[in-house]
Amino acid sequence: MSSTTAPPTGGTVPPSYNVHANEERLELSWRHPKGLWNLSLVNFGLRLITLGIYHFWAKTEVRKRLWSGIRINGEPLTYTGRGLELFLGFLIVAGVVLLPTALLVAGVMIAFGPDSPVYFAVVFALYAVFFFLIGVAVYRAMRYRLARTRWRGIRGSLDGNPMTYGWTYFWTGLLVPLTAGWITPWRSVKLQELMTNNIRFGDRSLKFTAQPGPLYAPFAVMWVGGLFLYFAFFGVIIAIAALKAQSGAPGGAKAPPTPTEIGIIVVAGIIFLLLFMLVSAWYQARLTNHFANNTHFANATFRGNVTAGGLIWLTISNLLILAGGALLVCAVVAIVVLPFIGLDPQQLARVESRSALQVVATLVPLLILLSFGLLMPVVQARALRYVIEHLSIEGTAPLADIIQASGSDVRFGEGLAEAFDVDAI
């Protein structure tokens, strides 16, 4: 039990004075983990050698580095998860969910044919089940991460029922298209409330008090801006078709697009995507700050200071880092692999256009996959650093009074999250 101290005499209690002796102010800080670039290379190589099996151990090692960079009152978080737990969790989900689903779909297709109404009904039902399971996976993944997070030896936890969260995720998600997206702010607050109000640190819980109302103004700007850009993009396509019809080209507007027209459409799509990123960043910043400002722990409240410009710069710079990693991998592949298959890299310039397109079509997906596998730890650290540096805590909490919560620990980790690829870190 925390002891109390009599307030100073002769006037009001100063803001800095703690009524409870065990109350401490909370300060968030970030200390960048060392060796992330080397770790990225090692993890990438071991993933290749083990045909992806090392992925679970690689993720665990990255988390240990990232968690250690987060400091509360100068003391780091500790991640105690193990790669074997993630691997076993994935195997369980693969055996219980993925394999039976694949066998069911194959059996129905063989028995009734791919064009049968029965086949479409089964596939539709499975999509609905998987959409529900995505919500369950998000909740269970958060529960595992919190259970494997320690600060001053005290671990986090997540109470509540994953099925409740999954059901809310499911039915509110169905309402998104029915409401033209306008339920999104309310849905985001509802899901965050279900999650945050069940988070505990030791025997103390967090409290979430946000309301969706303040989010609708920035959401309206994003919605209207997105709708305008959507129609503007298709306006470009319609304009190209109209000009082609007026030019008297063979086939008119129905003729296949030329390389120039494809280039114009691609450039327009990229421009409109960047403009939508600019519009939506304001909403994302407001959403993040709103969630932070309404999250409380004991007598402390989080404060967010995320900006739209900061999110845009973070996104663009991270994409450039991933692209740099992809170029590095492709350069190494070109230098090391091509000579062994009897093809000099300089010969690529003399390959016929169709063959060159085939080479590009083969390398581009590989480039994207390898880039994410190579430098993702660096990108994750930069994103986490931005969040921590734009997050503060006002008020105090009785940290010395917090004790370890009773209850069973989580045995296996994130199998559903791995299966559905919904885990951010």
How many CB atoms are located within 10 Å of the residue 247 CB? 10
Total number of domains in the chain: 2
Asked, for residue 134, whether it belongs to a domain, the answer is yes
HEC string of the chain equals CCCECCCCCCCCCCCCCCCECCCEECCEEECCCCCHHHHHHHHHHHHHHCCCCCHHHHHHHHHHHHHHHEEECCEECEECCCHHHHHHHHHHHHHHHHHHHHHHHHHHHHHHCCCCHHHHHHHHHHHHHHHHHHHHHHHHHHHHHHHCEEECCEEEEECCCHHHHHHHHHHHHHHHHHCCCCCHHHHHHHHHHHHHCCEEECCEEEEECCCCHHHHHHHHHHHHHHHHHHHHHHHHHHHHHHHHHHCCCCCHHHCCCCHHHHHHHHHHHHHHHHHHHHHHHHHHHHHHHHHHHCEEECEEEEEECCCHHHHHHHHHHHHHHHHHHHHHHHHHHHHHCHHHHCCCHHHHHHCCHHHHHHHHHHHHHHHHHHHHHHHHHHHHHHHHHHHHHCEEEEEEECHHHCCCCCCCCCCCCCHHHHHHCCCCC
- The pTM assigned to this predicted structure is 0.81
pLDDT given for residue 386 in this prediction: 96
Q: Are residues 168 and 110 in the same domain?
A: yes
How many CB atoms are located within 10 Å of the residue 166 CB? 21
pLDDT given for residue 353 in this prediction: 45
CA distance 128 to 106: 18
Q: Are residues 157 and 234 in the same domain?
A: no
CA distance 43 to 57: 9
CA angle (416, 387, 141) in 5-degree steps = 15
Strands 204-208 and 78-79: unpaired
Domain final residue pick, 252, 273, 293: 293
Asked, for residue 5, whether it belongs to a domain, the answer is no
Q: Are residues 145 and 263 in the same domain?
A: no
Q: Are residues 140 and 162 in the same domain?
A: yes
Asked, for residue 148, whether it belongs to a domain, the answer is yes
Q: Are residues 183 and 83 in the same domain?
A: yes
Domain final residue pick, 235, 264, 293: 293
Q: Are residues 154 and 244 in the same domain?
A: no
pLDDT given for residue 358 in this prediction: 59
CA distance 329 to 340: 17
Q: Are residues 193 and 234 in the same domain?
A: no
| φ/ψ of residue 201, rounded to 5 | -120, 110
Asked, for residue 37, whether it belongs to a domain, the answer is no
Helix axes 216-246 and 184-196, enclosed angle (nearest 10): 140
**Closest C-alpha among 198, 236, 103 to residue 405:** 198
Q: Are residues 155 and 222 in the same domain?
A: no
Q: Are residues 189 and 78 in the same domain?
A: yes
Q: Are residues 126 and 86 in the same domain?
A: yes
Q: Are residues 178 and 193 in the same domain?
A: yes
Asked, for residue 45, whether it belongs to a domain, the answer is no
Domain final residue pick, 277, 293, 309: 293
Q: Are residues 200 and 281 in the same domain?
A: no
> Residue for token digits 């993040």?
288
pLDDT digits (tens, 9 = 90+) for 101-152: 999 999 999 988 888 899 999 999 999 999 999 999 999 999 999 999 999 9
Asked, for residue 31, whether it belongs to a domain, the answer is no
What's the domain range around 410? 62-210+399-425
User: What residues contact 303, with CB distance under 8 A and at least 6 apart?
Assistant: 292, 293, 391, 392, 393, 394
| Segments of the chain scoring below 70 in pLDDT | 1-21, 247-255, 334, 336-373, 406-425
Asked, for residue 156, whether it belongs to a domain, the answer is yes
Asked, for residue 323, whether it belongs to a domain, the answer is no
pLDDT given for residue 15 in this prediction: 42
